Amino acid sequence: MDSGKVSESVLKRSVLKYVQLNNQAVENECHLITEARVGADSALFAVSETEQDCLGTATGVSIGRHRLVVTEAMINACNNLICSGAEAFGVEIALILPETVFESELKHMMEEAKEYALAHHITILGGHTTVSRFVTETIATVTAFGKT
């Protein structure tokens, strides 16, 4: 496949076809508002049957070897939430780093992420950081959590 996002036909044929609601409790008790579909990069759950108060989650990804790679993924995830009507209150950050990255680079990435989080009243809740010989650039995946 070519680099970048997969085409809509590949997404439908090889991804969304296998994404399904496997737990009836999610639909009945969590009140799923949005589900996986083309163009939907987030999910909303009502915390009450009235659907006035919703929790949302969305993921953003950025790949690169620069100090804003984590921040870009945060912005992407938070914007996906905004598009569904929710505002981010927290994020989890997962990083896969190349073996050639220096600790100082990691520190700069996280300093930038912290500045963005502070400016937008977002808590960095946690995440995962690993180094892999299989990547040549940092892969930042951010899951944002929000509410309407």
CA distance 84 to 74: 16
Claim: this prediction has a pTM higher than 0.85? no
Residues 6+ apart with CB under 8 A from 14: 6
List, for residues 22-81, the tens digit of each pLDDT value. 555 555 555 665 665 666 666 666 666 665 677 888 999 999 999 999 999 999 999 999
Tokens representing 100? 């050639």
CA distance 29 to 14: 29
Query: What are residue 36's DSSP bridge partners?
Result: none
